[in-house]
């Protein structure tokens, strides 16, 4: 079940934006004409990833500098060692829809925030 | 909650104007601050504020009675007991022998003690004083303004109490409960105050207990404040247990946490005069679905004070515990001696324990230590016991009770000993042996060479 969470035109390229989808905090990142969605909680110390910055196809947590792949959510650098959940995104015209029911990478969903 | 609600609560309790005015000052702060935000507020980052059911109706009395059996049964002597049920102070028993010695255990709203209460209440919390800016955590300010059931314990100078004063807090109704305790020890007084928290299961309904305890220890006085969290499943509990420690005085907050859904406790001590001592201690055992957040905070404001924080916990199931301690040493606090430690034992896979034993030091002439360790049962210790014919369940019981031994030894309150041991035993007998997590630190053969 996909929910409309944002308009493509309001997302700046590689600038994270936090949205809520069915109670789950999700960070959206626009990569040119595509959009990626990750659970907005760092797997290290639960900080909001939307507070951080994006480099290439990675997002960096603002608190301790852990980086995650925007493609599969995997942890790419310490201090994080576990992946964050990724979600399926569909772009229909200017509408960005996210399905936050099941992570596409099978990562465990944080039980907080 | 607005000024009108506060006036109603105060009038209902028949309070003196001076005490009511302290409430109104807090109500003003309440209007100025927002609820904590776990994304912004450093001290709330460890527990998502959305787990806390604020905004429910304030519970102000019900038909319910406290259970017959309490910790008082563990002591074979007449005790001072105050009983709060569903946000109302039902009764206070004070043995004549204690009253003769000038000990006061009474309602915090009793006009007879209004002068003392007005002088003290909220000075460790939301009221700005010479010593601090005032606590701006809205959950604390709410209690400051709208507490519905309060107990005053006063021990006069040079009086030492042989037995603990027991405050019972029992909860049956959904909503927000606002109990409050004020302990005042004059110089050279000595007392133990035990707060026993119990509840009947509220089912799916949300219960929040938002509690504040202020403790004032005069010069060379000594106070131990023991808080036992023996809640049933669905209760959420926030508490500030804060002491102001006078010259050569001592304040020991002890947190014993076994029940509740989300329990976030702030045992705090302000060492404001030379030679003060504080030994905050905690024991907790978390099981499926529980979230315990322990936030001891010690402020070394005066020189040559001593503190030692020790919290130990065990976890199983999908439970979480947080130790977020802090020791602040100000630039004037020369000769400070402090240590801060957290130990957690994860019994089964799926539990998570976080620890951050902070130190904030602005003075170089001190001794300070801090540390934390989180681990599982040592496979070799278990093998050692099993190899001697001790069944696994019993072996785990020995290991877990041994793990808690040093912190329990430090607490030494006969009144709570049996209850705490039975809670620890209950957790051990609940352990899912098929999911037992072990640390297998087998010695590498190369290390032996």
Q: Which of B36, B37, B38, B39 should be substituted to probe chain A, the one whose Cβ sees the most A Cβ atoms within 10 Å?
A: B39
Note whether B318 contacts A: Cβ–Cβ < 8 A: yes
Which residues does chain B have within 8 Å of residue A48's beta carbon, measured at their own beta carbons? Answer: 39
Name, in order, each residue with C-beta under 8 angstroms of B329's C-beta and a sequence gap of 6 or more.
B300, B336, B338, B359, B360, B361, B362, B363, B366, B368
- Which DSSP letter does residue B434 get? G
Banded pLDDT at A113 (limits 50, 70, 90): very low
Could you give the number of structural domains in chain B?
1
Confidence of residue A112 (pLDDT cuts 50, 70, 90): low
Tell me how far apart the alpha carbons of residues B160 and B189 are, in angstroms, rounded to a whole number: 5
d(CA B298, CA B333): 12
Q: Verify whether the Cβ–Cβ distance A111 to B318 is below 8 Å.
A: yes
CB contact under 8 A, B38 and A48: no
Q: String of b and e for A37-57 (b: at least 16 CB within 10 Å)? A: bbbbbbbbbbbbbbbbebeee
Q: Are B284 and B252 in contact (CB under 8 A)?
A: no
B39 touches A at CB < 8 Å: yes
All residues of chain A having their beta carbon less than 8 Å from the beta carbon of residue B38 are 113
Rounded CA gap, B306 and B324, in Å?
Answer: 20
Q: Is B42 on the interface with A (CB under 8 A)?
A: no
Distance from CA of A95 to the nearest CA of B (A): 28
- Beta pairing partners, B287: none
pLDDT at B365: 94
The partner residue sitting opposite B39, judged by closest CB among A45, A48, A111, is: A48
Beta pairing partners, B396? none
How far does A92 lie from chain B, in Å, by closest CA?
Answer: 31
A23, A46, A79: which to substitute to probe chain B, counting the most B Cβ within 10 Å? A46
Helix (H) / strand (E) containing B105? strand B104-107
Q: Which pLDDT value is given to residue B186?
A: 98
CB contacts, 8 Å: B320 with chain A: 111
Distance of residue A15 Cα from the nearest chain B Cα, in angstroms = 19
Q: B352 in contact with A at a CB cutoff of 8 Å?
A: no
pLDDT of residue A45: 84
Question: Using one digit for the tens of pLDDT, what is the confidence trace for B106-154?
Answer: 999 999 999 999 999 999 999 988 888 899 999 999 999 999 999 999 9
Q: How confident is the model at residue A8 (pLDDT cuts 50, 70, 90)?
A: confident
Does this complex have an ipTM over 0.85?
no
Helices marked H in B274-391: 379-387
Note the pLDDT of residue A106.
84
Chain A contact for B414 (CB, 8 A cutoff): no
Q: Is the pLDDT assigned to residue A101 strictly greater than 90?
A: no
Q: Is B51 on the interface with A (CB under 8 A)?
A: yes
3-state secondary structure of B250: strand
CB-CB under 8 Å, B51 with A112: yes
Is B358 near chain A, with CB under 8 Å? Answer: no
CA A62 vs CA A11, B178, B229: distances in Å: 20, 38, 37
Domain that holds residue B211: 3-448
Question: Which residue on chain B is closest to A41 by alpha carbon?
Answer: B39
Write the burial class of residue A21 (CB in 10 Å: 0-12 exposed, 13-18 middle, 19+ buried): buried
Residue-wise pLDDT tens digits, A35-76: 999 999 899 888 889 999 999 999 999 989 999 999 999 999
Q: Which of the four pLDDT bands, split at 50, 70 and 90, describes residue A1?
A: confident
Superfamily of domain A3-99: Rieske [2Fe-2S] iron-sulphur domain (2.102.10.10)
For the entire predicted model, the pTM comes to 0.90
Whole-angstrom distance, CA of residue A90 vs CA of residue A36: 9
Inter-chain Cβ pairs, chain A and chain B, closer than 8 A: 12
Residues of chain B predicted below pLDDT 50: none
Question: Within 10 A of B278 (CB to CB), how many other CB atoms are there?
Answer: 27
Verify whether the Cβ–Cβ distance A113 to B38 is below 8 Å.
Answer: yes
């Amino acid at each position: 079940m996909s929910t409309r969470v944002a308009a493509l035109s309001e997302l700046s390229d590689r600038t994270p934006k936090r949205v809520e989808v069915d109670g789950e905090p999700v960070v959206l990142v626009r990569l040119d004409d595509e959009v990626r969605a990750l659970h907005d909680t760092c797997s290290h110390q639960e900080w909001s990833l939307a507070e951080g910055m994006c480099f290439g196809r990675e997002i960096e947590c603002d608190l301790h500098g852990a980086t995650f792949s925007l493609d599969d959510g995997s942890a790419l650098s310490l201090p994080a060692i576990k992946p964050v959940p990724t979600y399926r995104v569909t772009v229909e015209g200017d509408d960005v829809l996210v399905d936050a029911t099941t992570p596409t990478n099978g990562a465990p969903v944080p039980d907080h925030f | 909650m607005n000024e009108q609600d506060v006036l109603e609560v105060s009038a209902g309790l028949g309070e003196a104007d001076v005490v009511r005015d302290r409430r109104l000052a807090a109500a003003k702060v309440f209007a100025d601050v927002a609820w904590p935000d776990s994304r912004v507020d450093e001290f709330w980052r460890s527990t998502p504020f959305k787990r806390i059911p604020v905004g429910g109706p304030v519970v102000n009395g019900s038909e319910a009675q406290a259970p017959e059996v309490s910790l008082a049964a563990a002591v074979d002597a007449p005790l001072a007991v105050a009983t709060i049920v569903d946000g109302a102070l039902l009764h206070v028993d004070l043995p004549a022998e204690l009253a003769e010695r000038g000990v006061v255990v009474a309602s915090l709203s009793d006009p007879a003690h209004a002068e003392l209460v007005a002088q003290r209440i909220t000075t460790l919390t939301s009221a700005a004083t010479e010593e601090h800016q005032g606590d701006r955590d809205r959950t604390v300010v709410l209690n400051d303004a709208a507490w519905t059931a309060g107990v005053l314990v006063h021990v006069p100078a040079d009086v030492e109490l042989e037995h603990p004063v027991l405050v019972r807090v029992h909860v049956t109704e959904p909503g927000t409960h606002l109990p409050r305790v004020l302990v005042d020890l004059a110089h050279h007084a000595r007392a133990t105050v035990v707060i026993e928290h119990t509840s009947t299961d509220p089912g799916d309904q949300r219960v929040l207990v938002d509690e504040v305890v202020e403790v004032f220890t005069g010069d060379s006085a000594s106070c131990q404040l023991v808080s036992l969290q023996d809640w049933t499943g669905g209760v959420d509990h926030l508490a500030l247990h804060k002491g102001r420690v006078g010259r050569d005085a001592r304040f020991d907050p002890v947190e014993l946490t076994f029940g509740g859904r989300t329990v976030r406790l702030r045992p705090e001590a302000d060492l404001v005069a030379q030679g003060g001592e504080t030994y905050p201690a905690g024991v907790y055992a978390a099981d499926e679905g529980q979230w315990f957040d322990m936030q001891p905070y010690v402020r070394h404001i005066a020189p040559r004070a001593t503190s030692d924080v020790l919290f130990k916990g065990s976890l199983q199931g999908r439970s979480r515990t947080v130790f977020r301690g802090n020791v602040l040493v100000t630039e004037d606090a020369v000769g400070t001696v402090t240590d801060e430690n957290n130990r957690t034992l994860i019994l089964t896979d799926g539990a998570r324990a976080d620890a951050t034993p902070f130190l904030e030091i602005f003075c170089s002439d001190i001794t300070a230590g801090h540390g934390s360790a989180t681990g599982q049962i040592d496979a070799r210790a278990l093998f050692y016991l099993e190899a001697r014919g001790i069944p696994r369940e019993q072996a785990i019981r020995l290991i877990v009770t041994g793990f808690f031994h040093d912190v329990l030894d430090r607490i030494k309150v006969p009144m709570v000993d049996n209850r705490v041991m039975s809670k620890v035993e209950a957790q051990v007998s609940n352990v899912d042996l098929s999911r037992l997590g072990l640390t297998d630190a087998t010695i590498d053969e190369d290390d032996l060479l």
